Amino acid sequence: MSEVSAKRVFIGAGCNRVVNNVSWGASGLLSFGAQNAVAIFCPKTAQILTTLPGHKASVNCTHWLPSSKFAFKAKHLDRHYLLSGDTDGVIILWELSTNSNNWRHVLQLPQSHKKGVTCITAFMCSETDAMFASGSSDGVVNVWDVSFPSQPSEECKVSCLDSISADSKAIVTLSLAELPQNPGRFTLAMGGLDNKIKLYCGERTGKFTSVCELKGHTDWIRSLDFSLPTEETTNSIMLVSSSQDKVIRIWKLVLVGDVGSWQREITLASYIEGPVFVSGRFTYQVSVESVLIGHEDWVYSVEWQPPVDGHQPLSILSASMDKTMMIWRPEKKTGVWVNVVCVGELSHCALGFYGGHWSPDGVSILAHGYGGSFHLWRNVSSSKESENWQMQKVPSGHFAAVTDITWARTGEYLLSVSQDQTTRVFSSWKSDEEDEHWHELARPQVHGHDINCVAMVQGKGNHRFVSGAEEKVVRVFEAPLSFLKTLNHTCAGGEGSFPEDLQADVQVLGANMSALGLSQKPIYLHSSSVQVERNGGGEGLETFETVPEAAPVELKEPPIEDQLAFHTLWPESHKLYGHGNELFSLCCDHSGSLVASSCKAQSAAMAEIWLWEVGTWKAVGRLQSHSLTVTHLEFSYDDTLLLSVSRDRHFSVFSIQRTDNGEVSHKLMAKVEAHKRIIWACSWNPFGHQFATSSRDKTVKIWSIEKDARVKQVLALPQFGSSVTAVAWTGLDQKEKTGCVAVGMESGLIELWNIKVKETEEGTTAALALKLEPFMCHVSAVNRLAWRPSESNQSLLRLTSCGDDNCVRVFDFKV
């Protein structure tokens, strides 16, 4: 076998649902935490470019050096840096080379927090020097100094200037600024759970001391941001704060004079004006500039618009749990701060925003929401006077572990299921550009339980899939007309596996969500007029949370979050009852006539595998063999054998026969104790009766079914570095009997092995073809690998994978 090369095609992932998780860098790229990974996405193409492996715990916050706030100082940098902090208190510094687009792990900060990192803020003193502060949920704030190398050969230097125990409870937000007219002296604002803003002052070289507290908010402080000095007012800076009391406050920090010359009379007015403090030679006063009331729920983030050409615009972006983002500016004549732009209020789906961010040029704003989703608006207006903010495409994906993934019958799209209780369809869209761009196409199932397994129903007819969740029912879904029409606009083109002339029979346009999020009811083509009357006629029946009526339509471009959450559901056509516990594994045979299912089990009675007939959806068999949960099922490519692997460390092979009158008979052919620990996965050779099994004992074994129906082990791959959680076999050359086995591990790494099946004396051989580099792989356990269905003897192989890091990935391999 010649050299195998790998290419990253697509990464789909949702954003961790925490505040401070997203940062927009001066590089123009965005960073966010996706479980233990730090993901980087490009807002221009709406594609996730890469994920950075290194954290062992969930990533809470990311912060670019320089961030969009300091983009005006960072026009021509070769290297940008990124800080990321996790729930274990570890902070890692990363470096991006802008010329080569290569990332590297620079260092882990030497002194980690004892509890999770909640926020990171930074101040760029120059292009090669910065200060940053990190806050933790135990109330400790560390202040750091970092200097970046001017030559490529040098290393970054990081030193801890101070560690402040600011509070017994968590510090959840920080902001750093240089004091006006006082170079080398900095002020650090902290916000936490005691409703007060704490101000500390210190020098570039070291200790920070508490100088005053700002009182006014009546609930937790959620976000703080210092402005940079403007040209007109070089002796003052502003601090904006937001809180769970739904109010935003703007504070002004003014230089009032030298220490000796300025004396304060204690009068009633001085209490109103606000506290005074001394730093170095100067005295400063902090007073309330304005109070902004407009949001109806907790305000999670506030951020000053980044300076363009070094001018600080008087413009603030706020994001709130009331599902809106607002831009506030002072009126020209009166100077009163007003809300000039409000976006997001039409969406039902976001359940509120966790944070809002400006792009470096100030023409785009991004929010991240409760559903792990991004929402991006861009001001497309050409005139200065009017503004027109339009929604833009963003990457999307699951916001919890992705448990299973499968290809459509001819590989035109992917279907993934997750513990975030959704089923999602990903596909590549037609575009004029060279690279194919993948986007989420639909969200067929939005459920009330975590979903564990999925299988595409093969064979002719409409697109159908079965899914199993943390419940005892298998649910069957069928594609609605709106989806079939949308599919024509993707790269696959509509002709795929369900031609246009047959689509005429599909009477269902889409589906509606039920109140509890369990069953999805169909919307029929000719019923739209009736529905409106039914909705308008219910007097006094308005419930607190009404689920909006779905309006399924043909999509000509990738849908945004609002459309995905409500208008792309598939109707549920059947429920299959029989299992006594939560569903765990599903598969369909290659002719599309049988579906096999298994559930979690502690006993032999529960560990039965059920066979269902596609179409009638009757139970046509119950296969007994295992004593604990069956973890994976797969039919052989000629549909005569069913292979199952289990937690009881055995695999079983059943022969499946169809009698002339259409009945299904089954018989246990073999049961073998194959591994020393739980067997996680299995996969058949497309060209014969050989299969691979993978296990927690870090091994992959290849088995062959002999002529006399006995099973014998023909090969064991060398032991892997961690538990092997996924395995998938694809054929390369039918004559040569060669194939490729993809192996996915608990560590997130993926390897490809070439297998040559020989039934002669020397036996089957295997050779390592490729180890994917860690920056391309998952950062947590791989849950499933699946090769795209295609003709044999192909030179380009496409593999998809899903894992505990919330990611769905697609790779291309040139063989």
pLDDT of res. 707: 83
Q: What is the mean pLDDT of the chain?
A: 87
Report residue 59 as tokens. 């990533």
pLDDT of res. 708: 82
Mean pLDDT of 624-641: 94
pLDDT in tens, 762-801: 678 888 989 999 999 999 999 999 999 876 556 788 999 9
Mean pLDDT of 546-559: 74
Share of the chain above pLDDT 90, in %: 58
Half-sphere exposure of 669 (CA within 13 A, CB side): 20
pLDDT of res. 532: 38
Supply the CATH number for residue 112's domain.
2.130.10.10
pLDDT of res. 736: 83
User: Domain residues for 141?
Assistant: 21-165
If you ran DSSP here, which 8-state letter would residue 25 be given? B
State pTM to two decimals.
0.90
> At residue 53, what are phi and psi to the nearest 5 degrees?
-90, 140
Q: How many domains does the chain have?
A: 1
Q: How confident is the model at residue 489 (pLDDT cuts 50, 70, 90)?
A: confident
Share of the chain above pLDDT 70, in %: 90
d(CA 381, CA 361): 14
pLDDT in tens, 219-230: 999 999 999 887
**Per DSSP, which regions of 678-779 are E strands?**
679-684, 690-695, 700-705, 711-716, 724-733, 738-745, 750-756, 765-771
Mean pLDDT of 678-698: 94
Higher pLDDT, 539 or 100: 100
Asked if residue 664 has pLDDT above 70, the reply is yes
In a domain, 71, yes or no: yes
Q: How confident is the model at residue 448 (pLDDT cuts 50, 70, 90)?
A: confident
pLDDT of res. 540: 39
Please work out, in degrees rounded to the nearest 5, the angle formed at the alpha carbon of residue 524 by the alpha carbons of 523 and 526.
130
Mean pLDDT of 303-322: 90
In a domain, 553, yes or no: no
Q: How confident is the model at residue 450 (pLDDT cuts 50, 70, 90)?
A: very high
Report residue 68 as tokens. 């969009």
Higher pLDDT, 46 or 272: 46
d(CA 807, CA 815): 25
How many other C-beta atoms can be found within 10 angstroms of the C-beta atom of residue 71?
25
pLDDT of res. 631: 96
Ramachandran bin of 439, using left for φ above 0, alpha for ψ from -120 to 50, beta for the remaining angles: beta
In a domain, 98, yes or no: yes
Q: 3-state class of 626 per DSSP?
A: coil
In a domain, 35, yes or no: yes
Q: Pick from 797, 716, 804, 796: which is nearest to 763 by CA?
A: 716
Highest mean pLDDT among 32-41, 223-232, 309-318, 708-717: 32-41
Mean pLDDT of 390-403: 93
pLDDT of res. 537: 38
In a domain, 740, yes or no: no
In a domain, 115, yes or no: yes
d(CA 631, CA 693): 11
Q: Pick from 174, 196, 171, 173: which is nearest to 187 by CA?
A: 174
In a domain, 62, yes or no: yes
Higher pLDDT, 270 or 714: 714
pLDDT in tens, 344-376: 876 555 578 999 999 998 999 999 988 889 999
271 contact partners, CB below 8 Å, separation of at least 6: none
d(CA 159, CA 147): 9
Least confident of 155-164, 204-213, 317-326, 527-536: 527-536
208 contact partners, CB below 8 Å, separation of at least 6: 143, 161, 162, 164, 186, 188, 200, 201, 202
473 contact partners, CB below 8 Å, separation of at least 6: 575, 576, 577, 579, 583
d(CA 70, CA 308): 9
Asked if residue 546 has pLDDT above 60, the reply is no
pLDDT of res. 773: 92
Are 799 and 813 spatial neighbours (Cβ–Cβ below 8 Å)? Answer: yes
Q: Which residues of 448-486 are buried (b: 16+ CB within 10 A; e: fewer)?
A: ebbbbbbbbbbeebbbbbbbbbbbbbbbbbbbbbbbbbb
pLDDT of res. 498: 56
d(CA 508, CA 503): 10
In a domain, 125, yes or no: yes
Are 590 and 635 spatial neighbours (Cβ–Cβ below 8 Å)? Answer: yes
pLDDT of res. 795: 73
